[in-house]
A and B are shown apart, each in its own frame.
Chain A
Amino acid sequence: MIPGRELIARLTSRGPETTPFTPVGRGTRSGHLPSGVRALPLDSLSGVEDLDPQEMVCTALAGTSIDEVARAAAVHGLLLCPLLPEGIGGTLGGLYSSGIESPAAPQEGRLRDAVLGIEGWTGGGSPLRSGGRVVKNVTGYDLTRYLCGARGRLGVITRLHWRLRRDPERFQEVRAELPCLRLLDALKALRGAPDATALRVELVGDRVTLRALVEGGGPPVESRIGRIREALAQAQLRSEAQELPRAALPDFLRAELPDLGGGSALRRATVRQWAEAILLAGRSPSARGVLFPWIGLGALVPSTVASPPPELHSIDQWVREAWDPHGNLWTGEEAPR
Chain B
Amino acid sequence: MTPIRRRRRDDRRLLRALERWLPPSRIIRDPGECALYDTDGLTLHRAPPGGVLLLESADEVEEAVRCCVSHGVPFVPRGAGTGLSGGAIPLDHAWVLDLSRMDRVLEIDPLERTARIEPGVVNLDLDRAAAAQGLRYAPDPSSQRACTVGGNIAENSGGPHCFRHGMTTRHIESLEVVLPDGTRTILAAPSPGRADPRGLFVGSEGTLGIAVEATVALVARPEAVRTQLASFPSLAAACRAVSRVIAAGARPAALEILDRLTIKAVEASVFRAGYPLDAEAVLLVEAEGSAEEIEQETAVVQAACEAEAALAFETADDPVARERLWRGRKGAFGAMGRVARDLYVLDGVVPRTRLAEVIERITKVGERHDLVLSNVFHAGDGNLHPNLSFDARDPEQCARVLAAGDEILRICVEAGGTLSGEHGIGLEKRDHMHLVFDAGELATQERLRAAVDPAGLANPGKVIPGGRGCVEAGHRGPPGSGERTARRIEEVLG
Contact = CB atoms under 8 A, between A and B. Distances in A.
B422 A146 contact: no
Interface residues of A, number: 74
A321 B448 CA distance: 9
Interface string A146-188: 1111110110000000000010000000000000000000011
A110 B436 CA distance: 26
Contacts of B423: 138
Interface stretch (B188-196, B270-278, B321-329, B394-402): B188-196
A140 B211 CA distance: 18
Contact of A332 (B158, B193, B450, B481): B193
A310 B167 CA distance: 28
Contacts of A319: 195, 448, 451-452
Interface stretch (B21-29, B56-64, B411-419): B411-419
Given A109-B166, A138-B156, A325-B481, A313 B194 contact: yes
A310 B421 CA distance: 33
A193 to B, nearest CB: 9
Nearest to A144: B199
A119 to B, nearest CB: 9
A124 B197 contact: no
A135 B246 CA distance: 14
Nearest to A226: B290
Given A141-B445, A191-B113, A313 B187 contact: yes
B478 interface: yes
B421 A129 contact: no
Given A112-B199, A141-B463, A322 B447 contact: yes
Contacts of B198: 145
A246 to B, nearest CB: 18
Nearest to A132: B418
A272 B194 contact: no
A150 B249 CA distance: 33
B344 to A, nearest CB: 18
A112 B196 contact: yes
Interface stretch (B9-17, B72-80, B302-310, B345-353): B345-353
Interface stretch (B42-50, B96-104, B200-208, B362-370): B200-208
B289 interface: yes
A134 B203 contact: no
A314 B452 CA distance: 9
Contacts of B479: 325
Given A106-B217, A319-B452, A314 B382 contact: no
B136 interface: no
- Give the interface centre of B249, B420, B441 by most chain A CB atoms within 10 Å: B441
B30 interface: no
A251 interface: no
Contacts of A136: 158, 162, 167, 349, 378, 381-383, 421-422
B111 A191 contact: yes
B444 interface: yes
A276 interface: no
A55 B243 CA distance: 9
Contacts of B477: 322
B249 A166 contact: yes
B383 A223 contact: no
Nearest to A295: B189
Contacts of A194: 220, 223, 289-290
A272 B111 CA distance: 8
Contacts of B113: 106, 191
A256 interface: no
A170 to B, nearest CB: 13
A142 to B, nearest CB: 5
Contacts of B291: 223
A322 B208 CA distance: 15
A122 interface: yes
B272 to A, nearest CB: 29
Interface in B158-193: 158, 162, 166-167, 169-170, 179, 183, 185, 187, 189-193
Contacts of A112: 196, 199
Contacts of B166: 109, 113
A323 B444 contact: yes
B110 interface: yes
B418 A134 contact: yes
Interface in B414-450: 416-425, 429, 433, 436-438, 440-441, 443-445, 447-450
Given A113-B166, A194-B220, A270-B112, 14 more contacts: A126-B443, A134-B350, A136-B378, A139-B436, A140-B425, A142-B156, A145-B200, A151-B193, A218-B296, A266-B192, A271-B111, A307-B191, A316-B195, A322-B450
